[in-house]
Amino acid sequence: MTDENRSELKGKVLSLKDLVEYQEGTVASRMVINNKSGSITIFSFDENEGLSEHTAPFDAVVSILDGECEVWVAGETFGMKEGDSIIFPANVPHALSAVTKFKMSLTMIKE
């Protein structure tokens, strides 16, 4: 989605979990904000989908909007459900996997 298309979201009340639909057998996403300071992206994960272990150069806040997942941060496992949030520290290995279908908001802070 281009910046121009994202502008249609500005100045409106949004239900973040309604910005992206579930898609069978895959992960879907919609970027809400993307600029030099950071980004906000909404993801939906089908059951048993996930993100493999990786690192990122910036802190990131993950907030669960619907469903349940497991996350791993520096080798520690956490069960998460709607309403829960976690901060993935910069340069620390992390991963996640859907326990049920779930949606999340990812806020990446770059500066």
pLDDT tens profile 36-53: 999 999 999 999 999 999
Give me the residues paired with residue 31 across strands.
41
Closest among 17, 16, 22 to 98, alpha carbons compared: 22
Distance of CA 84 to the CA centre of its chain: 12
Read off the pLDDT band of 65 (50, 70, 90): very high
CATH topology of domain 3-109: Jelly Rolls (2.60.120)
In contact, 63 and 103? CB cutoff 8 Å:
no
Read off the pLDDT band of 1 (50, 70, 90): very low
The pTM of this model reads: 0.91
